[in-house]
Amino acid sequence: MIFKQLFEPISSTYTYLLGCEETGQAILIDPVINAIDRDLRVLDDLGLRLERTLDTHIHADHITAARELKTRVGSKIAAPALDRLPCVDLPIEENRPMQVGSLSLTGLHTPGHTDGHFAYLFRDRVFTGDALLIEGCGRTDFQNGDSEALYRSVTEKLFPLPDETLVYPAHDYTGRHVSSIAQEKARNPRLGAGKQLEEFKQIMAGLKLPYPKFIDYAVPGNRQCGVCPSDLPEELQQYCGVMAASPQG
Ligand SMILES: [Fe+2]
């Protein structure tokens, strides 16, 4: 199995590349539109063919590269069935494994950040999207967010996974790359150490986060599997531009 964690610095998004060594097929989880050239270069360097893109949810902070990758290299678009996006080729349902070559991923419906949000279990690791971040979690105040639903998703679906399961989140804002279920159960300041539902709801209600600056463009664009709007204000054009070469890329 080939595995790479790729970072997009404008939205601090992690994209995950999974490659099957027997068939040369690959999956990209949560690819970002402005990092598309980088991702295609990495696939090329590894001798892999992109078979599928897979999104964890309808993102509000970046535009998915799913549609553009389909156009460029013919990959199929997989995403949670619950979001009912007409542009999706392979709707993902809970506990129905998705197979690409020797790679098999199982979706877990983990609502709360968004109502259709999925995490993906793959062998010894779980791609947690924005449901569970390293010592954090996604916000719950937009896109049908619901702190009670998120608490249940994390404590009833993710925390029961084996302690040693590696946690690969959709974002990290301080340079951390990976965690584990044991570590998050012990150390997550919002959800770990036996935090109760009421306490979590209070924490989330008290965050007072600013309005996401790209959400009004990202959500409609992502509901079309990744369309950059033509009327982007100057200061937001970097979200649809070509990413500068990065040391991690
Ligand atoms: Fe998100």
Closest alpha carbon to 152 in 120, 188, 125, 113:
113
pLDDT digits (tens, 9 = 90+) for 174-205: 999 999 999 999 999 999 999 999 999 999 99
Please give the single-letter amino acid code of residue 100: V
Residue 217 CB partners (closer than 8 Å, separation 6+): 63, 229, 232, 236, 239
pLDDT in tens, 124-147: 999 999 999 999 999 999 989 999
CA of 164 to the centre of ligand 1 (A): 25
Distance CA 145, CA 116 (A): 10
Six token digits for residue 78: 């997989």
- Find the 47 Cα to ligand 1 centroid distance in Å: 30
166 Cα: distance to centroid of ligand 1 (angstroms): 20
Q: Left, alpha or beta for 236 (phi > 0: left; psi -120 to 50: alpha)?
A: alpha
pLDDT per residue over 145-162, tens digit each?
999 999 999 999 999 999
Mean pLDDT of 89-100: 97
Q: Is the pLDDT of residue 249 over 70?
A: no
Residues with CB under 5 A from ligand 1 (ion): 59, 130
For ligand 1, the distance from its centroid to the CA atom of residue 96, given in whole angstroms, is 23
- The mean pLDDT value for 206-224 works out to 96
What's the 131 CA to ligand 1 centre distance in angstroms?
8
List Cβ neighbours of 131 (8 Å cut-off, separation of 6 or more): 56, 110, 112, 113, 117, 119, 137, 138, 150, 153, 154, 158
Non-local CB neighbours of 53 within 8 Å, separated by 6+ positions:
27, 28, 29, 31, 64, 65, 66, 69, 70, 75, 76, 77, 78
Is residue 73 packed enough to be buried (19+ CB in 10 Å), middle (13-18) or exposed (0-12)? middle
21 Cα: distance to centroid of ligand 1 (angstroms): 31
Is pLDDT above 90 for 242? no
Q: Tell me what the mean pLDDT of segment 163-183 comes to.
A: 98
